[in-house]
Chains A and B, each alone.
Chain A
Amino acid sequence: MLRFILGKLTYLIPTFIGITIVAFGFVRVLPGDPVLLMAGERGVSPERHAQLMAQLGFDRPIWEQYLDYLWRLMHGDLGTSLITKKPVLTEFLTLFPATLELGLCAILLATLIGIPAGVLAAVKRGSWFDQLSMGTALVGYSMPIFWWGLLLIILFSGILQWTPVSGRISLLYYFPPVTGFMLIDSLLSGQKGAFASAVSHLALPTIVLATIPLAVIARQTRSAMLEVLGEDYVRTARAKGLPTGRVVGLHALRNAMIPVITTIGLQIGVLMAGAILTETIFSWPGIGKWMIDSIFRRDYPAVQGGLLLIAGMVMVVNLIVDMLYGLINPRIRHK
């Protein structure tokens, strides 16, 4: 197992270096002078310009600048936001819990509905449930989620007035963040109605963000289940006279879960892309909205840092999924 993990790690190092090159290169290939860009509308005198160029290291050879960038990165220095003047890493970490909470709720919702739906569709192949659920899954898979979010706002916030339109919690409540998760913090605060408010704010964004993963998980579970149900050992289990529930739940599901777990893990990239759109629509103060705002504000250090952290995160999660995969499937581990 250790060799398997080490093998994966050595494989990832070049990818990570590539990611740093992209993040580093992003700012360099932008048209225009970096110092003028930072100075913005105010402009700078030629002397000050030269001084800043030297101070920021832009007058040195590009490979030296890159090594310098890597060096600072290894010390946890991702640069300073041009707008807020705060360290990019601090900004990221402050906003990250909001995205994590939303993402976890979404993936939980997608898994809890997707897997049972996929299993049931496979077991009752060709039934009305199969056709309905897979039809729905295909619609969900094809959904432009930014529109889906707007539709839900029209229905639940506009017509029914059940849920608020934006934010994480009503302005009536204030408590210091403990965990950064609004659901937990609101409970800890002990204020009446705070938890309900947090839930009502979270509901629509969660549904929107869960839509595509849910569809993918349901489809993948169904096809994995169908494949496994056709295997010899399942037929043997059936022939032994085991009840269907036991065959499906114990023999088939266990093996069908292997590709499904991989699929769930691979949804993190989908979730991060979805978070950009979902957080924009619901004004959710997380990483996705921060990234898009930073792009629009031309806050390049923030974009650079965010790009690196998000890609690094996706990479780490994929590594964990790979390891889990090796753990539950010995055939891969011992190859």
Chain B
Amino acid sequence: MSNATLPAETSSGAMRRRALADFWFYFSENRGAVIGFWIFVALALVAIFAPLLAPHDPTQQFRDALLTPPVWQEGGRPEFILGTDAIGRDILSRLIYGAQYSLFIGVVVVSIALVGGIIIGLIAGFFGGWIDTVIMRVMDVILAFPSLLLALVLVAILGPGLTNAMIAIALVLQPHFARLTRAAVMSEKNREYVIAARLAGAGRLRLMFKTILPNCLAPLIVQGTLSFSNAILDAAALGFLGMGAQPPTPEWGTMLAEAREFILRAWWVVTFPGLAILITVLAINLAGDGLRDALDPKLKRS
């Protein structure tokens, strides 16, 4: 017995390495995906090293430099590369710190939605019957509301703020994960390997999480990247509407909300925060497209 287990373990390690190499091969075929991936890595580094990179404190107000234009424009000052906002805060520093918020929002929201969705979907798909019906009807109800509207109303109930905005967005994004998990579980649960595991005496939890779940991960990963960018966009939208992160937090959507009244006087206070959102979301979506192609065996063959 012990003799048989040992090589099996090493080969599973080798298989994993092999699968990873395979994955990277297909992923790197897509030039856009690789670019997106590296931009995302760069953003993560910016977020981590924000205190070292930012030239100023993001909340420090330079009273002598209100609405200073970017350095290349007339009137610009070299210490404020992207200019300053209406109360004299350095925009570049705020953008750098803002990267922390956006990535944090993405990670937290996707984690909550993913874990919640997987558990709910596993339960629905595994048990079936009335449990499944009730759970999926509830998911349908959540999906019947436009996501931003439901998030707005939830934040209105919970009170404006970044934490509540993240909870609301996670709740709104979660049914997608539940549906995907359920569908995958339903198609997997009667496969032979699952029946074999069941006959071997595996308990319900083991069947759900160790036997079935790993074989349902590919669509969930793709949905995860999609939700990551959606979470950033929705959180920024909530911030823009005054329902997300509150000033003076250097969150990009909140920065845009504060900048709105200056759009015709100072283009830079509006342009740069939005550009930061666009680049982040675009990078994630680019990488997500590549991920989908690399993980989808149907597309791989063609």
Contacts and interface: CB of A to CB of B under 8 A. Distances in A.
Q: Decide if A and B are genuine partners.
A: yes
Interface of A: 14-15, 18-19, 21-22, 26, 29-31, 135, 138-139, 141-144, 146-148, 150-151, 153-154, 157-158, 230, 269-270, 272-273, 276-277, 280, 291-292, 295-296, 303, 307, 310-311, 314-315
Contact of B157 (A26, A135, A158, A291): A26
Contacts of B284: 142
Contact of A147 (B156, B241, B270): B270
A31 B149 CA distance: 20
A296 B144 CA distance: 23
A314 B145 contact: yes
A30 B144 CA distance: 21
Nearest to B229: A142
Contacts of B236: 144, 146
Nearest to A153: B263
B267 A154 contact: yes
Interface stretch (B10-18, B103-111, B134-142): B134-142
Contact of B148 (A19, A230, A276, A315): A276
A148 B278 CA distance: 10
B226 to A, nearest CB: 10
A277 B241 CA distance: 8
Closest 3 CB pairs of A and B: A147-B274, A18-B141, A273-B148
Contacts of A157: 264
Contacts of B271: 151, 154
Interface in B100-144: 137-138, 140-141, 144
Q: Is the interface of A mostly helix, strand, loop or mixed?
A: helix
Contacts of B237: 144, 146, 277
Given A142-B281, A147-B274, A307-B153, A15 B140 contact: yes
B99 interface: no
B274 A150 contact: yes
Contact of B152 (A18, A151, A276): A276
A272 B146 contact: yes
Contacts of A139: 278, 282
B294 interface: no
Given A295-B153, A307-B149, A310-B149, A154 B264 contact: yes
B146 A295 contact: no
Nearest to A147: B274
Contacts of B243: 295
B240 interface: yes
Given A272-B146, A277-B241, A147 B278 contact: yes
Given A138-B286, A276-B152, A303-B156, A311 B278 contact: no
A271 B140 CA distance: 19
A30 B157 CA distance: 5
Contacts of A15: 137, 140-141, 144
B256 interface: yes
Contacts of B148: 273, 276-277
A295 B263 contact: no
Interface string B255-278: 010001001100100110110011
A310 B146 contact: yes
B157 A29 contact: yes
B68 interface: no
Contacts of A153: 263-264
Contact of B256 (A29, A146, A311): A146
